[in-house]
Structure 1
Amino acid sequence: MSENIHPQAPHHLPHWFASADGGDGLFTIMVFFVLGLILLLGVAYFTLHALPERMAHKSNSAQLQLISILCMLALFTHNNLFWVGALVLAAFRPPDLAGPLNSMAQSLQNLVSRER
């Protein structure tokens, strides 16, 4: 094979150089690497995006539908404010404002029924 090489051509080329037949091993490796990286980044993005929904499922949140809607809005509009809102709703329980009011109403109802 050495008699086919041009006399002015370098006699030692690194192994990552493209061969004369057009095959390029480094390019093939980089294509698979980039495709794998794109796939992994997509999986990581969707995993992070579903974080508020998973948090709401684990805690049996009452606002699960609202959190899911906010996550979908954030996914399709690329507006991060919806995702942050869903994360805040999933992470913190809203204060129970109706419970004390119901208790006061029940106490007043009991007082009224005693007086009669």
Structure 2
Amino acid sequence: MAEALHPAAPHHLPAFITSPGDTDYLMVAAGAILVAAVLGVGLLFLRLHTLPERMAHRAHKLQFEIVAVLGLLALFTHMHIFWVLGLLLALIDIPDISGMFGRMAGALEKIAGIAPGRGGQAAAEADAAPVEEPPIVPEATAVQSGQH
């Protein structure tokens, strides 16, 4: 016995309405689009989140490790100030002070006639050697001889 349609029911149903027990293709497509959108937004977020770290790494900055730690702190604490600080550090060139001091030390070693890289050893050897002190001249003798 076939059931008759209710008189208020439409005689033609849209294509996205399925019969009971059939596969709902619209829901499958919506689910696939939802999964792709969540993965896409997540990848975009992580790509944007690692922007300061990638900038510091690409420019071979001295402060790369600090920028990376700030990025991780921002990720796990949800405090955006860490990300902003990391971005600012990635954009700023911090001068290479150790290299500057190394060049100064090399120049001083060259002036002193010490072999390059032996400045600390030469200073330690000089400290270990006995130092001869000049004789003490009494003040009255120094004034008479015209030394003062």
Residue number in structure 1 paired with 2:34: 34
Structure 1 residue 98: deviation in Å? 4.7
The 10-residue stretch of structure 1 (85-94 or 60-69) with the greater mean CA deviation from structure 2: 85-94
What 5-or-longer segments of structure 2 have no aligned partner?
113-148
Supply the distance in 1 between the matched residues of 2:33 and 2:21 (Cα, whole angstroms). Answer: 23
SS in 2 for 1:31: helix
Distance 1:29 1:5, change over 3 A: farther
Matches within 5 A, 1:84-95: 84-94=84-94
What 5-or-longer segments of structure 1 have no aligned partner?
none
Supply the distance in 2 between the matched residues of 1:89 and 1:73 (Cα, whole angstroms). Answer: 15
Structure 1 residue 65: deviation in Å? 0.6
Name which one, 1 or 2, has greater alpha-carbon Rg.
Answer: 2
Per the normalisation by structure 1, the TM-score is 0.74
* Aligned residues: CA RMSD: 2.6
Q: More relative contact order in 1 or in 2 (CA 8 Å, sep 6+)?
A: 1
Structure 1 residue 51: deviation in Å? 0.5
Per the normalisation by structure 2, the TM-score is 0.59
Residue number in structure 2 paired with 1:78: 78
Supply the distance in 2 between the matched residues of 1:75 and 1:5 (Cα, whole angstroms). Answer: 60
Give the number of the structure whose residues are more often helix, by fraction: 1
Supply the distance in 2 between the matched residues of 1:98 and 1:53 (Cα, whole angstroms). Answer: 22
Report the residue type matching 1:28 in the other structure: V
